[in-house]
Structure 1
Amino acid sequence: MLLYVGAWLCALATTILPQWLTMSTALLPIESYELGLWETCVVQDVGGMECRSYDSLLGLSSDLKLARILMCASLAVGLLGILVTIPGLHLINSCRGNRGKRTKRSLTTMGGVLGMVSGVLCLIPVSYMAHLAVIHFFDDKVPEVVPRWEFGDALFCGWAGGFLLVVAGLILVTSCLCSQEEPQPAMQRRYQVMSTDASLKKRSEYV
């Protein structure tokens, strides 16, 4: 569960950070540019940084729109998975009895599945933006003097968050599938056997 929450926070940081793609020019080496989902920034070597949000949602490219939608969907699904998994933890005594144990297992399994879905939704836009950066970087039609976008820190954070979300979901699901019901005590099993034999004896005498 701690891995689940940490991975979700990684995905949240990836969504907020503007360092999805970075670009530095040889003509102006003291400045570099950063591209994010919500804003673009200009970073100076002296330590200054100026960011500007996008003016219009409709004016964005389809790549940024798709990345926004998928990252927000990943965060929503991951948060839902966390909220579903918490009542299913063994440390929380919200349900009692065999039916309660089955309910807790179902909640934990559902939370694990939602975690894996959230991880996949996080990995898709991050990998897609990295793929576009690689294609444009090695495009022979663009002159070498033209600056090109490169990988930013947010992409690596997104890869880590998405992978850890999938791992956390797998751990939750496998822990529920591999766990077995607690064996009954010997005295309780002996009492059940004796009561069954007694009931069968009474039935045979009655017949």
Structure 2
Amino acid sequence: MDTCACALELLGMLVYVAAWLCALTTTVLPQWLTMSTALLPIESYELGLWETCVVQDVGGMECRPYDSLLGLSSDLKLARIFMCACLTVGLLGIMVTVPGLYLVNSCKDRTKRTFTIIGGVLGMISGVLCLIPVSYMAHFAVMHFFDEKVPEVVPRWEFGDALFCGWAGGFLLIVAGLLLVSSSLCSQVEPQPVLQQRYKAMNTDYNSRKRSEYV
């Protein structure tokens, strides 16, 4: 396998694992949306996929999980589904990619390339599944923040840290998938070593001379 292709493969795998952990952190964090009020400046509210939290400036934080799944809004339900699908597809992609690594002696080269390509495609799909709910929740916050029908004194939701973490995880998953697919495509055409090419040329020249002597 070419050194460049092997480096791309290892880099893609490292980025893949880091991006999946970033997506997992995004799913768990409650800071998807944040809101602070002028009436109670010492407190701020945080909205997540699994719970809501009240944060105080003195350092206290109290979180409460949602009481019922059926009582959730459609936005949170879809965000949960997409993030869980993102984690599932990403984990499946990692499991498929590991046997296809060049450093793992598990199967033939052609099968390795197939596993690596499938893992890269699953990584890109996982990245898209991560970007959809994160971008939608950001769009939801922007639309409500600039809604002219809502009075200015009414508090509005703003971006939380989980959204930025989700954007980073989604883009990194896509990048990792592209790196893995590129490494597989580069490894399909393996250039012959220079010494082997010179040996073949010398051998061909020697055979041609030998034939001419017999003639």
Query: Unpaired segments of 5 or more residues in structure 2?
Result: 1-12, 205-215
Ranked by relative contact order (alpha carbons within 8 Å, sequence separation 6 or more), the top structure is: 2
2:114 maps to 106
Query: Unpaired segments of 5 or more residues in structure 1?
Result: 194-207
TM-score using structure 1 length = 0.87
2:142 maps to 134
Deviations 1:142-177 (A, max 9, x none): 000000000000000000000000000000001111
Letter in 2 for 1:151: F
2:168 maps to 160
Distance 2:93 2:100 in 1: 11
Distance 1:65 1:15 in 2: 13
The one of 126, 147, 150 aligned to 2:155: 147
- Change in Cα spacing, 1:49 to 1:4, as seen in structure 2 (3 Å) is same
Q: Is 1:53 the equivalent of 2:65?
A: yes
2:10 maps to none
Q: Give secondary structure in 1 for the equivalent of 2:122.
A: helix
The one of 10, 28, 32 aligned to 1:20: 32
Distance 1:116 1:2 in 2: 15
TM-score using structure 2 length = 0.84
Instruction: Report the RMSD for the aligned CA atoms in angstroms.
Output: 2.1
Deviations 1:102-136 (A, max 9, x none): 00000000000000000000000000000000000
Letter in 2 for 1:58: L
Letter in 2 for 1:111: G
Q: 1:1-207 to 2 correspondence within 5 Å?
A: 1-95=13-107, 100-179=108-187, 180-181=189-190, 183=192, 185=196
- Percentage identity across aligned positions? 80
